[in-house]
Amino acid sequence: MKRRLLAIVLLITFTIIPIYWKAYASLDAIPLKQFKSSELDSHLKDIANRETLNQLIYLPPGDFSKEDAANMIRHVSNIPPHILHVLVQQNVHLYLFNGNLTDVEGFEHLHGVKPRGYSNQGSNWEDVPGIGGSKLVLAKIGHSNKGLGHGSINLELHELAHSIDRYVLGNIRYNQTFLKAWKSEVSSLFPNRNYFYTFPEEYFAETFAMYYLNDVSRFELAKHAPHTFLFYQNMEKLPVTKNLISNSH
Q: Same domain, yes or no, for 75 and 124?
A: yes
Q: Same domain, yes or no, for 156 and 180?
A: no
Q: Which of 156, 159, 202, 206 is flagged as catalytic?
A: 159
pTM of the model: 0.85
Q: Same domain, yes or no, for 92 and 136?
A: yes
Q: Same domain, yes or no, for 54 and 128?
A: yes
SS3 of 89, please? helix
Q: Give the pLDDT score at 15.
A: 38
Q: Give the pLDDT score at 173.
A: 81
Q: Same domain, yes or no, for 192 and 148?
A: no
Q: How far is residue 206's CA from residue 244's CA, in Å, rounded to a whole number?
A: 19
| 131 beta partners | 138
Q: Same domain, yes or no, for 151 and 214?
A: no
State what percent of residues in the chain have pLDDT above 70. Answer: 83
SS3 of 115, please? coil
SS3 of 137, please? strand
Determine contact, residues 129/143, Cβ cutoff 8 Å.
yes
pLDDT digits (tens, 9 = 90+) for 215-233: 999 999 999 999 999 999 9
**What is the extent of the structural domain holding 125?**
29-160
Q: Same domain, yes or no, for 52 and 74?
A: yes
Phi then psi dihedrals of residue 57, to 5 deg: -105, 140
Q: How far is residue 157's CA from residue 159's CA, in Å, rounded to a whole number?
A: 6
Catalytic residue at 220?
Answer: no
Overall domain count for the chain:
2
Q: Place 147 in a pLDDT band, splitting at 50, 70 and 90.
A: confident
What is the DSSP code string of 138-186?
A: EEETT--BTTSSS-SSBHHHHHHHHHIIIIISSSGGG-HHHHHHHHHHH
Q: Same domain, yes or no, for 37 and 155?
A: yes
Q: Same domain, yes or no, for 190 and 72?
A: no
pLDDT digits (tens, 9 = 90+) for 63-107: 999 999 999 999 999 999 999 999 999 999 999 999 999 999 889
SS3 of 122, please? coil
Q: Same domain, yes or no, for 136 and 211?
A: no
Q: Same domain, yes or no, for 98 and 154?
A: yes
Q: Same domain, yes or no, for 97 and 189?
A: no
State what percent of residues in the chain have pLDDT above 90. Answer: 66
Q: Place 18 in a pLDDT band, splitting at 50, 70 and 90.
A: very low
203 located within any domain:
yes
249 located within any domain:
no
Alpha carbon 243 to its chain centroid, in Å, reads 20
